[in-house]
Amino acid sequence: MNDSPIGIFDSGSGGLTVLDACRKLLPHENFVYVSDSRKGGWGSLPANQIALRACACVDKLSEYGCKAVVAACNTATESSICALRNDYELPFVGLEPALLPAVRAFPNGKITVICTPATSRQPKFKELLDKCKDARVAVRPQPKLASMIENGLHSLDSLRGEAERIVEEEKPDALVLGCTHYVFIRYIFESLLGAERVFDGNLGAARRLLAVLTERELLSAREESGSLTFDAI
C-alpha cells in the first residue's frame, strides 16, 4: 500500500475531466494536478515541443513524490508517452480516443473522431485507426475547438453552435471525443445525438489507472477521502 499522490497533467483544463473520472473511481487517493500556464494548447504544436512541455509537467509532479502519473491529454499521450516511460521510473497511464468501443457499438455505422491536429498526425493514432480499418471511420481534426473550450469554460453553452456545425457536417452514427477538452461539452453533443452515441476515453483511463495501482500494490490504505492539489508550470 502507498499513500503517495497520483499525478495528472494536461496542457490546460481538459485534464480536469479525467481527474474527475479518476477521483470517482479512486476516492481515497491523493491527487496532484499540473497544467501548463502558458497561453495556447498543445494541439497545434510540433511533437518535440509537446514532449518538452510534458516533461516539464512530469518534473513538477515528481517534486510531489507521485507514485504514478496520468497523461490526461490525448495529444501528449500520442506524441510523448513512450519517451516518458523511458525517461522516468514511474508508471504512466495515457489517454486514447475511444474509437474501439465506438466501433464495437456501431460496427456498421459512420464513426467520426474529432481530435487536435497533433493527435491526428501521430503514429500511435494511425495504429489505432489500422485496428479499425474495416469500419467507416472519419477523422476530423479541430484546430480551434480545444482553445475555444479553454477560453470559454464559464460560458460553454455558447459553443452549441460549433457542436451543431460538427454534427450537421458529419451526421455520424457515433462521435468520438478525441481530446479531453471536448468532454466539457459532451453534454451538448449528447443533446444532439443521444448519450449512447458519444464516446470518450476518460473512464477507460481511470480503470487502467486502478489496474496499474492494483498490479503494483500502490493503492492507498486510507479510508477517508483523498486530497487534491493544483500546480502549474
Active site residue 55: no
Element (H, E) at 93: strand 92-93
User: Is the pLDDT reported for residue 1 higher than 80?
Assistant: no
pLDDT at 195: 98
Dist. CA 149–CA 133, nearest whole Å: 31
User: Is the pLDDT reported for residue 3 higher than 80?
Assistant: yes
pLDDT at 52: 92
User: Is the pLDDT reported for residue 40 higher than 80?
Assistant: no
Task: Report domain extents, the chain.
Answer: 6-95+202-232, 99-199
pLDDT at 44: 75
Residues 136-143, mean pLDDT to the nearest whole number = 96
pLDDT at 65: 97
Instruction: Kindly report, residue by residue over 179-210, the tens digit of the pLDDT.
Output: 999 999 999 999 999 999 999 999 999 999 99
Dist. CA 27–CA 46, nearest whole Å: 36
Residues 148-154, mean pLDDT to the nearest whole number = 93
The single residue of 22, 57, 66, 73 carrying the catalytic annotation is 73
Percent of the chain clearing pLDDT 90 (strictly above): 83
The single residue of 57, 66, 115, 179 carrying the catalytic annotation is 179
Dist. CA 43–CA 181, nearest whole Å: 11
Identical fold between 6-95+202-232 and 99-199:
yes
pLDDT at 78: 85
Q: What is the CATH number of domain 99-199?
A: 3.40.50.1860
Q: What is the CATH number of domain 6-95+202-232?
A: 3.40.50.1860
Active site residue 132: no
User: Is the pLDDT reported for residue 43 higher than 80?
Assistant: no
